[in-house]
Amino acid sequence: MAGLDAIQASQMGWTDGAGKALRTLGDLLMKVEYASCDPSNETRTSPQLMVMDMETGTTILLKTTPHQGGKTGGDGYVRFPDYEQSNPMRIPPTLKEAVMLDKMAGMLGGRISAAVMREIAEAVAEANELRLSPDKETYKHWLAEHANHPDELNEMLDEFRKATVKNQKGDTLLAMQAIPHMVAMASIEVMQDIVAEYMMELEVIE
């Protein structure tokens, strides 16, 4: 079980921009969490948050979905430790072609002659034409006759290609639900008065 069950909450009345604001706040909080946590340890919590739209009165409570077992094991949030992942070094086809042509030029005295380049271009055009034609048998025969060197190239590259090790952030799982509330435990007017009083106090301090 993972994710945030918020379908009902998403159908309630929200002021335009609320989603963007909450997403931006969430991104900032995630950066703070990653910076403050121990990446080598597993983190398990059960956050409880109340979100209220002061314009429409829409209010939801974010809390852990009741459950047992699974990777979350009853918790609302789990962050697993960072880990190292090995990935084979990727060599783009264009890079292979550039290196091969450069080495061919060196073996041919510093440059590839126009005749050699023309033969290469004609062979590529012929192979591509056969590849796009409905005559698949002829194309297979052409590959068997002319295109066995790529296999040798890949075998050679496999001998030198080393796996790159990258540090990956630990996976995070969420098992929470957004429960709609009838303007929480106070009316929207009361909440607006509380916010207004708080803003006035800030102005006095500043």
DSSP assignment of 132-188: HSS-HHHHHHHHHHH--HHHHHHHHHHHH--EEEEEEPPPEEEEEEEEEESSTTS-H
Do 75 and 11 share a structural domain?
yes
Do 189 and 153 share a structural domain?
no
**Residue showing tokens 């080495």:** 103
Report pLDDT for 16: 95
Report pLDDT for 148: 67
The answer on pLDDT for 185 being more than 70 is no
Do 127 and 75 share a structural domain?
no
Report pLDDT for 95: 78
d(CA 120, CA 139): 17
d(CA 100, CA 152): 13
Mean pLDDT of all residues in 114-131:
81
Report pLDDT for 204: 66
Mean pLDDT of all residues in 168-172:
88
Cβ-Cβ contacts under 8 Å for 154 (sequence gap 6 or more): none
The answer on pLDDT for 199 being more than 90 is no
Rg (CA), the chain: 31
Q: What is the DSSP letter of 71?
A: T
Q: In whole angstroms, what separates CA 10 from the centre of its chain?
A: 24
Q: Tell me: the pLDDT tens digits for 80-95?
A: 999 888 777 777 777 7
Report pLDDT for 160: 66
The answer on pLDDT for 97 being more than 70 is yes
Number of domains, the chain: 2
Do 101 and 123 share a structural domain?
yes
d(CA 148, CA 150): 6
Do 105 and 147 share a structural domain?
yes
Strand partners, 167: 84
Do 100 and 73 share a structural domain?
no
Do 152 and 106 share a structural domain?
yes
- Say which amino acid occupies 26: G
Q: What is the pTM of this model?
A: 0.57
d(CA 206, CA 187): 29
Do 199 and 98 share a structural domain?
no
Report pLDDT for 137: 86
d(CA 193, CA 185): 14
Residue 77 is part of which domain span? 3-81+169-205
Report pLDDT for 183: 47
The answer on pLDDT for 206 being more than 60 is no
Do 123 and 178 share a structural domain?
no
Do 77 and 13 share a structural domain?
yes
The answer on pLDDT for 142 being more than 70 is yes
The answer on pLDDT for 1 being more than 80 is no
d(CA 109, CA 149): 23
Under a CB-based contact definition with an 8 Å cutoff, are residues 179 and 4 in contact? no
Report pLDDT for 146: 74
Mean pLDDT of all residues in 137-158:
75
Mean pLDDT of all residues in 140-166:
73
Q: Tell me: the pLDDT tens digits for 8-51?
A: 888 999 999 999 999 999 999 999 998 888 889 999 999 999 89
**Residue showing tokens 């699974």:** 70
Do 49 and 145 share a structural domain?
no
Do 173 and 118 share a structural domain?
no
